[in-house]
Amino acid sequence: MKDLKGWNFIVYTLIKNNFKNNPFTLDELYQFEKYFQQVYPSNFHIKDKLRQILQNLRDKGVLAFISKGNYQLLVDFKEVESQTYTQEVVYLLSNESIPGWVKIGRTNAIDRRLKDLYNTSVPLPFKVEETIETKTLENSRVLEKSIHSIIDTLNPNLRKNTDANRREFFKLSADEGKHVFKLVTQIMAIQ
């Protein structure tokens, strides 16, 4: 859904990938709270936010309220499978010469990407901290956008409100970046 942004996009994607068109309960959605808490530990109102987003999605006609605490997506999510398998990788990179920042992007050849990034503008090579493999270019684009959106939504001061706005660099430690990747694997139902 192109008109969904921020938390609306994140929760919509979580529901779409984990519950499909099946009914789900509020308690089932709350099972993902622990992943949000790892990424944003100072937010003590995640359950409240999830309920608010469910109301937003209902008001946008994306979600149906079935009964107290029971919901279902209204949209048909039959997605066209790609005819060709292309291994894509969404990556989390760090660089000792850029402390406190990570790079999150995508490629179809991680070794080539690392070689391209290690040029005369950086004194040390980038290190792969985490990767998530996808089967198609479209899946990697959605996954990369989801990761960027989660970070920008949960804390805009990590990229959105910095000089790195609209770039693939985020003011995060490698461990914080790994927490984001873990959250995204839960939202996107990646095994």
Q: Would you say the pTM of this structure is higher than 0.75?
A: no
- Crossing angle between the packed helical segments 46-59 and 6-19, to the nearest 10 degrees: 90
Cβ(168)–Cβ(107) below 8 Å:
no
The residue to which tokens 């694997």 are assigned: 185
pLDDT per position in the chain (191 positions), as tens?
557 788 888 898 899 889 888 899 999 999 999 888 887 788 889 999 999 999 999 998 889 999 999 999 986 544 434 344 468 999 999 999 999 999 999 999 999 999 999 998 899 999 999 999 988 888 888 889 888 888 888 888 888 888 888 789 999 999 999 998 988 888 777 75
| Separation of alpha carbons 103 and 93, rounded Å | 5
DSSP H or E segment with residue 143: helix 137-154
Measured over the CA atoms of residue 165, residue 170, residue 172 and residue 178, the dihedral's sign is positive
